[in-house]
Amino acid sequence: MREVINSAAYSQGLRIANVELGDVHELLKESSQFVWIGLHEPSEEILSQVQHEFRLHDLAIEDAHLAHQRSKIELYGDSLFVVLRTAQINQEHHIDFGETHFFVGTNFIVTVRHGSSVSYADVRTRCESTPDLLKKGQGFALYAVMDFIVDQYFPVVHVLEQQLTVIEDKIFNEKPSRETTQQIYLLKRELLEVKRAVSPLVDISNRLMRFDIKFISDETQPYFRDVYDHAVRVNEIVDNTRELLNTALDANFSLISISQSDVSKKFAGWAAIIAVPTMVAGFYGMNFKFMPELEWQYGYPTVVVCTIIVCVIVYHLFRRSGWL
């Protein structure tokens, strides 16, 4: 597996040369150009070389090596360190999360991908096809990758919305069950993970857009408003879906409770019907010596018929009231 995916130098928005990692320090002396290096799950040796070439802070390199960081933005001396979490839907329609770390300096940008993440080769190609924008420097490259990462969340939240629709159909069109409750819980957990990943993007974009960071040119800062707007939209979709999911969970519990109540009513109704012949049998099971019906020729069929009639009347009463 290649660790150094791409390494190139740019001047006035044009790619002027591919760069070997060990020669980067020479190119950094030229203020009129910047270096863009892309890494994928680099080894400790590669990261140490990157640290040496770009003079990066030990804590930032440690975070980039260990991964499993929350989304954040940190300023370490002469470089900016940004962490973003990536997300995509796998074949099982579950979310795979990854991370991308950015090191941004006066005339360089280094991207480090970890875990599940789409390649940024297309992003680089699009940037190279618009030299008028890429000549804005490493700040524009940072914006382009960040915008691509945030846009990848839209198909993710769309799938989650579709899963919510399926759950709603099960709740209102099928018999409510514990399985539906489990599906709601799993979806809530995935939404929470998305919320944790996306929520910090609003603050990160806001800082890049508003604060004076010397690595980001003034003409590049407005572009981060686009990332900010997309992050806010994803956050709103996640919040709305979570709210609807909470409502769906309450509705599922209510329908389960109503279903259980209906079953209890049916049991009570049939118990009342069965109680009629039980009561009659109880009377005639008593050992009284004088019971007129015992000596009557039509006593037995009369009692049976009357019992059946009473049972039918009770059944219709319960049926009319909705208990049966």
For 121-176, how does the pLDDT look when each residue is reduced to its tens digit (9 = 90+)?
888 889 999 989 888 888 899 999 999 999 999 999 999 999 888 888 888 877 76
1 pLDDT above the threshold of 60? no
* Same domain, yes or no: 145 and 286: no
310 assigned to some structural domain: yes
Closest CA to 281 of 257, 303, 297: 303
Name the residue with tokens 């994803």. Answer: 234
233 assigned to some structural domain: no
Whole-prediction pTM value?
Answer: 0.77
Task: Give CA–CA dist 278/266, Å, rounded.
Answer: 18
Give the alpha-carbon dihedral of 228, 230, 236, 242, to 10 degrees. -120
Closest CA to 88 of 190, 235, 238, 229: 190
Structure tokens at 16: 């002027």
Helix H or strand E segment including 33: strand 33-40
Q: Name the residue range of residue 312's domain.
A: 261-321
157 assigned to some structural domain: no
pLDDT confidence of residue 261:
66
* CATH code where residue 48 lies: 3.30.460.20
Task: Give CA–CA dist 21/127, Å, rounded.
Answer: 21
* Same domain, yes or no: 17 and 147: yes
* CATH code where residue 311 lies: 1.20.58.340
By the 8 A CB rule, do 118 and 84 touch? no
160 assigned to some structural domain: no
* Same domain, yes or no: 5 and 136: yes
Number of domains comprising the chain: 2
